[in-house]
Amino acid sequence: MRLPEPQLDKPNLDHDRSYVFMQDRGVLDRIADAIESPQQAQFFKLAETKLAAAAEASELRTQAAENTKAMLTGVFVSLGIHVTFLDS
């Protein structure tokens, strides 16, 4: 059996359920925030970029491939089928 390479999906934060926990802001920024609400979309975009970079740098793809092989092996063995995985 030959499996496709695992692919990472783009991170997608739920803006309605997310918030910025802490910001280092000056006095003038805080006064401006009292007048109009601060735009946090830039922080969410930065967070999505950093999450994507962290996923790329991690062993996530390797772990996903191993988990998939283990799950499929378990399914096929329970059906009495011997399975061999081919490296692409």
pLDDT digits (tens, 9 = 90+) for 12-70: 877 777 766 666 666 666 566 556 555 677 778 888 899 999 999 999 999 999 999 99
pTM score, whole prediction: 0.62
Calculated CA dihedral for residues 20, 24, 30, 36, nearest 10 degrees: -30
Q: What sign for the dihedral angle of Cα 35, 37, 40, 42?
A: negative
Q: Would you tell me how many other CB atoms lie within 10 Å of the CB of residue 76?
A: 13
Does residue 18 share a domain with residue 49?
A: yes
Question: How much is the pLDDT for 31?
Answer: 63
Query: Considering the domain boundaries, does residue 78 fall inside one?
Result: yes
Q: Which residues of 12-26 are buried (b: 16+ CB within 10 A; e: fewer)?
A: eeeeeeeeeeeeeee
Q: Is the pLDDT of residue 86 over 60?
A: yes
Query: Considering the domain boundaries, does residue 18 fall inside one?
Result: yes
Does residue 46 share a domain with residue 23?
A: yes
More confident: 27 or 2 = 2
Structural domains in the chain (count): 2
Does residue 51 share a domain with residue 37?
A: yes
More confident: 75 or 40 = 75
